Every structure is written in C-alpha cells, then in structure tokens.
C-alpha cells in the first residue's frame, strides 16, 4: 500500500523513465507530486463563437470540421496537417505540426472542442497545435484547468494525469495537519478538499477556498517552525551580562541618538540581560544609524568583560567601521582591531594572539573572522553587518567561535516586519524608522536619454561647486553584444575622461578589482582626490563620502527599487543639498511607474512596500537566507494579509502547545520536521 513517501515510479502510469523526468522538477515522492502546485489556471468551462475571438487570447471553441484534413511534409522531415473548422459565426483554420495522426482522427462533419491561442488576423483566425477533444469526453477542456511549471520531458498532460493518479492513491492518507481549532477559527476547508481543488477545481469558488487553505497552511507551518527555532534559545544560557548605565555610553557620543536608536539599543540590552542568547535583527533605512546601535551593544557587553566581533561584507565597509568605532571606544579604554584578508602576516599574528589573551575588546573584519585560527578568550557578542550578504550558515560559523554568543544582525534593506520574520526566520526584529537630524532629503529625478547633455552639465555644475559625483553602471568591461559602452563602467570611465570631462578627475571602482585597489580608490575619493567616481554597485555597500552630492544611475531600469534606494543613500550625508538622477534609455510604462516611486519618496519602508507590490517578493527572496524553507504556493506580493493572519495563529497555537506535544499537534509536528529537514526536538 502506498504512503506519502512512496517513490513516484511506483505510481500507476509513471514508471522509471517518467519518474526520472519528474525528478528534474523536484518530484521524487507521492508527497512531492501532490505538493507540486499549478503556476496558474485557464478557465476552459465556456466555449466562444469564432466571430467573437480576440487575437492573442487562449480560448475554447465548439466547431465542426468542414473539410478532410490535408497532411504534407515540410523541411526537416516534419509533417503538417491542416484543416478548417466552422461554426454558425465563422471559420477557424487549424494547423498541427508533427501530429500526422490528426489526418485520420479528425472527421469531416463531426464537432469537436478546440482549445488554443488565437493567431492570424480578424479575417482569417487560426490556431496552431490546439488541444482537441470530443464533446462529452473532455479531460483538458470543460472546466478550470491547472497549468504547471514544466521541464524537458514533462508535459502538462503527463503532470495532469500523474497528479490525478497520485491523489487517487493517497486520498485516504491526507490527514489534516492543521489542528481543528485553528482550521475552524480561520474558516478553512479540510486538507483533502484543498488538495483536490487546488489541482482539479470544481469551480472558481472551490479554487479560492482551496488556495486560501493551502497558503494559510504553508505560512502557518513555516511560522510555527520558526517560532520553535526562536524558542530553543530559552533552553540555553547566553553570555551573562550585568546591568549597566547606558547613559554613560550616550554621554560620550559626539551627537545625540534618535529615539529609534535608543529603542533598538534598549531592546538588544534587554535581550542580553535576560540570561538567554540574543538573536536580533536591527533593520533600518540607509543612514538610520545602525552602527551606533551596534556600538552600544559592544559597550554593554564589554562592561561584563565580553569580547565582540563585527563582520562586514566588504573590506571597505570593515575599514570604515573600524575608523568610526576605534576612536569612540578609545575613550572608554576599549581596544579595537581590524582583521581582513589583506592584513599583513605579522599584524595578523599580533591580533590573533591578543584576541586569545582577551586584550582586544572588538575585532572588526570580513570573512577573515571565520577562519579556523581565529579564536577568542571571551567572545560574547557577534554582529554581522550583512545587508543580505550572509546567510544562516555563515552567521552560525562565526557564532561557533563561542558557546551561544549574543548575535545582532544589521540590515539596511527595510522590509515589512511580517516579511522580515520569514526572510530572517529565527531572529527577533528591531525596526529603526527614524533618521538622525541633519540627514538631507535627496531630490530624485527619473529621465530618459534625451536629457543626457543636461545631466552632464549638472554634473559639471556640482563639481565646480566643490562637490563630488557618483556614476553607477550595471556592468564591468566592454562586451561584444553590448553596443552602448555606458553600460560598462570601465569603458564609460574612459569615455568620460577623454571626451566628456577631460578637465575633471574621473576615478573607477568595480567589484573585480583587488581589495587593496578598491580600498585605495575609495580612500582617495573620500579624501577629495577625485571629482567623479564611476562604479558598479560596489558603492551600494556602506561607502561614506559626505562631500558627494550627486548620484547618477545609468540603466536604472536594471535595478530593483530597494537597490536604487541603497545607491541613493550614498549621497545626502553632508550638509549640502543632494540629488539622484535615474537614467534609462527606452523606459517602458512599467519602468516609468517603478522609477516614479523613487521620485516621490525617500522612505525606505515605503519603497520596499512598493517594490513588493510591483515586482513581488523575488528581490527579497533572491537574497533570502540559506537554510530556511522556500515557499511553494504563497505569493507574498498578494498574500501579506494571510501571512499576518497565519503568524498570529501560529503564535497563539505555540503559546498553548510550545513543544507540539498534544495529540492534535502530531501531524503539524511531523510536517515541521519534514519542512525543516530536522527532528522537531532539535528545534525546541
């Protein structure tokens, strides 16, 4: 007898060859098969008159074959069969490639259902390779039909039949993993009904009910699993931190902190005093002052004798952190060190020795902090300034340098809290929604190629006023198939130097340079030894040049809104008025709509909401942490309300049954174990 873990090759009608093809879609078991959801649906319940057909639409037509089909051979040995179908309103030409059997299966005078895309013109409509079914014997027409994502060797028909057979064999096995109380409270249909109607909807209402149930279930299970991940911290002791007067730290700062900064520090300090390991995400807009939140946590940990490690995604950013924090901590008698891939051998040995002796309080670095020979005397706090660039596993690797250290993650990509809980999973969230006083609003303009000369004049005007300019290009190095050299930073910098601004100092920065090279370019530019910096998105990551007042982004349509917002955040850091110019050559209506968002607001949270609505969650989930389950059916661009509902439901259920030990939680626990590929006892 089959169970949900039965290999698909043993399901009737599949076999070895089809199972191998299905494996390319990640389908290996019966559970995988019924959990492979349609990408979209086509409503084939109604037929249309031929005269009413619009070009480009996919429709069903009930029509009679008017002539004997004619078969012929064309180039490459292929066959083509042509026929004409008619109804009371008009005629439809039918063309079938490599379906020679149609010559004998379509009979003049008989009526069929044809389903396909309407092509040709309004005087001569046609369908190429339509689905053909006899009336009364319809399988792929006459109802709402699922359309699945495919791969080579797997057709819609194969999946349709395989899923149908799979459901037939496992219908009696579909135990409901949602506790009855949760299902009833949220008015959700039963699991069996949902699986049946997500694949083979009885009607539009049944599909709506089924999808709502499946989306809620997916988000509820994920939320419960993530809450179990978070709750495991209650079972282990974190580095003990005694109470300390944070006002002492605040008084030593050269500027007052915002309410948001103080709130984030208080939340983190409360975690660190709790006796359990902190595991917190501090997310805020560009320039919201997350570094000072990290500094407050480092100071607090040091009051109890704990060392801290701060890992940045690039050497430039690590050095910038070091230069900002070392003088601050020197006031408190705390010692900082910088450890990167380019640290000289002798200096590295000294740093490693002092870390082991405990005489370094804060070590700032890049991935170099993860190497085996780096060890600490009393590591109590790990900070990753990641901007999505480190995953769960890298954070864990740094965390393994000590036993259950406090962990703080800084992110400059502001996203809705509910989405942050999914992307960052096991982290508590602090939101910084306030900018320090003095931060300039950056005026933003989205313009086309016709503004090129005016943009160049504006750049020159900024430089003549004593300021500096960033120009960001999406590519590095000239490529044969890219005719416009502006798209390549290196070629564009050369053109600017030689043709456009021969009298100005044009510098170049891109990710393919060696670390020391990049560092030198940035140091020189920050010191004022350059007027224009042509760069790739390497400048997105935390580069601080207060004298830069203009950011020009070439081919802005190639960037997501959140990424454009990060780039814009490189200017407006000084006292002078700053500008961002988004250039796109042939902007589509969608591009214009997206870029208009940037011109309307400087609020990163608002921009992330718009990005989510316009592009879906792909931008965020493309950078999602490794080690967390992916979503199969939920679409967070339209399911955010359901995500919030599922998270609240999960919170309520986990409060009643934290270990999922009640009988009614058994199926839920099993699904969580499967989803997270780990035994649930390891989660709590």
Average pLDDT over residues 293-308: 96
d(CA 358, CA 76): 76
What tokens does 21 get?
């093809």
- pLDDT score recorded for residue 187: 96
Nearest to 684 by CA among 666, 659, 662, 667: 659
Question: What tokens does 533 get?
Answer: 């910096």
The values of phi and psi at residue 423, to 5°, are -70, -40
Q: Give 240's DSSP letter.
A: P
pLDDT at 305: 94
With a cut of 70, say whether residue 565 has pLDDT above it: yes
| CA atoms 53, 55, 61, 66: torsion sign | positive
Q: Over the chain, what is the mean pLDDT?
A: 85
Contact yes or no for 266/355 (Cβ under 8 A): no
Predicted confidence band at 233 (pLDDT cuts at 50, 70, 90)? low
Closest to 532 (Cα-Cα) out of 495, 559, 493, 567: 493
Q: Answer yes or no: are the C-beta atoms of 55 and 119 closer than 8 Å.
A: yes
Task: State yes or no: pLDDT of 682 exceeds 50.
Answer: no
Task: Give the containing element (helix H, strand E) for 137.
Answer: none
- 418 or 236, which is more confident? 236
Q: How far is CA 208 from CA 32, 177, 189, 190, 574, in A?
A: 22, 20, 10, 13, 52
Backbone angles phi, psi at 464, to 5 degrees: -65, -25
**pLDDT category, 306, cuts 50, 70, 90?**
very high
pLDDT of amino acid 327 = 94
SS3 469: strand
pLDDT of residue 55: 94
Q: What is the pLDDT of residues 157-190, one digit of tens each?
A: 899 999 999 999 888 888 899 999 999 999 999 9
pLDDT at 616: 55
* pLDDT recorded at residue 322: 94
Structure confidence by residue, pLDDT tens digits, 59-71: 999 999 999 999 9
**Where on the phi/psi map is residue 287: left (φ > 0), alpha (ψ -120 to 50), or beta?**
left
pLDDT digits (tens, 9 = 90+) for 515-528: 678 778 888 888 89
> pLDDT tier at 153 (50, 70, 90 boundaries)?
confident
Q: Say which residue, 173 or 128, is predicted with more confidence.
A: 128
Percent of the chain with pLDDT over 90: 50
Question: What's the confidence (pLDDT) of residue 366?
Answer: 85
- Distance, in Å, from the CA atom of 370 to the CA atom of 311, rounded to the nearest integer, reads 9
Cα separation of the two ends of the chain:
34
Q: Residue 293 class from Cβ within 10 Å (0-12 exposed, 13-18 middle, 19+ buried)?
A: buried
Reduced to 3 states (helix: H, G, I; strand: E, B; else coil), residue 381 is: strand
SS3 (DSSP) at 307: strand
d(CA 177, CA 173): 11
d(CA 261, CA 410): 12
* Total-model pTM: 0.67
Nearest to 119 by CA among 127, 108, 109, 129: 127
Higher per-residue pLDDT: 637 or 547: 547
Q: Where are the domains positioned within the chain?
A: 1-45+143-173, 46-140, 241-274+289-411, 442-601
Q: What pLDDT does 628 receive?
A: 56
| Domain 442-601: CATH architecture, name and number where available | 3-Layer(aba) Sandwich (3.40)
Q: Which of 167-181, 221-235, 318-332, 471-485 has the lowest mean pLDDT?
A: 471-485
Q: Residue 246 above 60 pLDDT?
A: yes
Residues 405-423 as b or e (16 or more Cβ within 10 Å = b)? bbbbbbbbbbbbebbbbbb
Rg from Cα positions in the chain: 31
Domains 241-274+289-411 and 442-601 share a fold: yes
Condensed to tens digits (0 to 9), the pLDDT of residues 361-408 reads 999 998 888 778 888 999 999 998 864 444 555 555 666 677 789 989
Q: What is the pLDDT of residue 397?
A: 63
pLDDT confidence tier of residue 451, bands split at 50, 70 and 90: very high
What would the pLDDT profile of 406-427 be if each residue is shown by its tens digit? 989 888 777 766 666 666 666 7
pLDDT attached to residue 461: 95
- Indicate left, alpha or beta for 95 from its phi (over 0: left) and psi (-120 to 50: alpha): beta
Which helix (H) or strand (E) covers residue 73, if one does?
strand 70-73
Q: CA nearest 574: which of 471, 462, 434, 656?
A: 462
How many whole angstroms separate alpha carbon 177 and alpha carbon 195? 13
> Does residue 475 register a pLDDT over 80?
no
Domain 46-140 has CATH 2.40.50.140: yes
Q: Which of 603, 633, 606, 636 is nearest to 619 (CA)?
A: 636
The rounded distance, in Å, linking the Cα atoms of 366 and 521 is 19
Residue with tokens 């340079």: 513
* d(C-alpha 415, C-alpha 497), whole Å: 39
Question: How far from 626 is each of 295, 392, 629, CA to CA, in Å?
Answer: 27, 6, 9
CA distance 450 to 157: 50
> How high is the pLDDT of residue 480?
40
Confidence of residue 474 (pLDDT cuts 50, 70, 90): confident
Q: 499: which DSSP letter? A: I
Largest CA distance in the chain: 96
Can you give the pLDDT at residue 64? 96
CATH match for 241-274+289-411 among 3.40.50.40, 3.40.50.300, 3.30.70.141, 1.10.10.10: 3.40.50.300
Whether 481 shows a pLDDT value over 50: the answer reads no
Cβ neighbours, 10 Å, residue 609: 18
Please check whether residue 546 is in contact with residue 524, taking contact to mean a CB–CB distance below 8 angstroms: no
pLDDT at 617: 52
β 442-447/578-583 pair status: parallel
In the Cβ-directed half-sphere of 113, how many Cα atoms lie within 13 Å? Answer: 19
Closest CA to 560 of 617, 511, 632, 599: 617
Res. 618 pLDDT band, cuts 50 70 90:
very low
Q: What is the pLDDT of residues 501-553, one digit of tens each?
A: 999 999 988 777 776 787 788 888 888 999 999 987 666 555 678 899 999 99
Angle between helices 589-600 and 561-568 (to 10 degrees): 40
What's residue 483's pLDDT? 42
Percent of the chain predicted with pLDDT > 70:
87
pLDDT in tens, 252-270: 998 899 999 999 999 999 9
pLDDT surpassing 90 at residue 670: no
């Amino acid at each position: 007898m089959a169970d949900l873990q039965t290999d698909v090759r043993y399901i009737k009608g599949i076999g070895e060859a089809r199972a191998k093809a299905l494996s390319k879609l990640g389908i290996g078991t019966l559970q995988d098969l019924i959990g492979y959801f349609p990408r979209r649906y086509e409503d084939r319940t109604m037929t249309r008159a031929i005269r009413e057909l619009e070009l480009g639409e996919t429709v069903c037509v009930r029509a009679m074959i008017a002539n004997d089909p004619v078969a012929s051979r064309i180039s490459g040995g292929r066959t083509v069969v042509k026929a004409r179908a008619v109804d009371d309103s008009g005629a439809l030409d039918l063309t079938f490639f490599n379906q020679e059997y149609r010559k004998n299966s379509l009979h003049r005078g008989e009526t069929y259902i044809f389903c396909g895309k309407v092509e040709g013109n309004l005087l001569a409509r046609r369908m190429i390779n339509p689905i053909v079914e006899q009336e009364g014997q319809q399988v792929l027409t006459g109802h709402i039909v699922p359309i699945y994502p495919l791969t080579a060797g797997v057709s819609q028909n194969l999946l349709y039949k395989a899923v149908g057979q799979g459901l037939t064999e496992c219908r009696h096995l579909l135990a409901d993993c949602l506790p009855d109380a949760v299902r009833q409270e949220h008015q959700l249909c039963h699991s069996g009904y949902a699986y049946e109607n997500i694949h083979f909807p009885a009607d539009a209402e049944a599909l709506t009910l089924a999808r709502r149930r499946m989306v809620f279930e997916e988000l509820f299970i994920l939320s419960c699993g993530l809450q179990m991940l978070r709750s495991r911290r209650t079972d282990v002791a974190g580095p003990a931190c005694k109470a300390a007067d944070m006002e002492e730290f605040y008084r030593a700062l050269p500027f007052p902190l915002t309410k948001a900064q103080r709130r984030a520090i208080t939340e983190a300090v409360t975690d660190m005093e709790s006796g359990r390991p902190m595991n917190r995400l501090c997310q805020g807009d560009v320039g919201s002052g997350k570094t000072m939140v990290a500094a407050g946590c480092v100071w607090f940990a040091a009051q109890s004798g704990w060392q801290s490690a701060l890992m940045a995604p690039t050497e430039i950013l690590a050095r910038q952190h070091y230069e900002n924090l070392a003088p601050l901590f020197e006031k408190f008698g705390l010692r900082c060190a910088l450890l990167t891939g380019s640290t000289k051998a002798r200096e590295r040995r000294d740093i490693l020795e002092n870390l082991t002796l405990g005489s370094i309080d804060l070590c700032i670095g890049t991935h170099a902090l993860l190497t085996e020979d780096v060890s600490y005397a009393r590591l109590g706090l790990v900070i990753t300034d990641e901007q999505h660039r480190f995953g769960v596993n890298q954070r864990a690797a740094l965390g393994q340098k000590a036993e259950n250290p406090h962990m703080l993650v800084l992110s400059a990509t502001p996203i809705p809290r509910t989405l942050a809980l999914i992307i960052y999973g096991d982290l508590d969230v602090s939101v910084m929604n306030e900018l320090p006083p003095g931060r300039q609003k950056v005026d933003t303009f989205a313009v086309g190629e016709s503004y090129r000369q005016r943009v160049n004049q504006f750049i020159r005007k900024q430089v003549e006023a004593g300021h500096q300019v960033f120009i960001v290009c999406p590519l590095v190095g000239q490529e044969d198939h890219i005719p416009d050299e502006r798209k390549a930073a290196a070629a564009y910098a050369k053109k600017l130097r030689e043709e456009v601004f021969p009298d100005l100092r044009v510098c170049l920065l891109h990710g393919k340079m060696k670390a020391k090279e990049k560092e030198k370019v940035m140091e020189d530019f920050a010191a004022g030894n350059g007027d224009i910096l042509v760069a790739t998105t390497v400048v997105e990551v935390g580069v601080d040049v207060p004298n830069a007042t203009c950011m020009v982004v070439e081919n802005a349509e190639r960037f997501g809104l959140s990424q454009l917002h990060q780039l814009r955040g490189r200017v407006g850091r000084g006292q002078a008025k700053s500008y961002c110019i988004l250039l796109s050559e042939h902007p589509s209506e969608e591009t214009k709509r997206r870029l208009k968002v940037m011109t309307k607001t400087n609020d990163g949270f608002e921009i992330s909401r718009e990005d989510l609505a316009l592009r879906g969650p792909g931008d965020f989930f493309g950078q999602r942490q490794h080690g967390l389950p992916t979503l199969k059916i939920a679409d967070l661009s339209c399911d955010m309300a359901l995500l919030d509902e599922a998270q609240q439901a999960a919170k309520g259920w986990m409060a009643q049954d934290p270990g999922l030990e009640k009988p009614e939680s058994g199926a839920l626990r099993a699904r969580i174990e499967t989803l997270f590929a780990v035994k649930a006892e390891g989660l709590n």
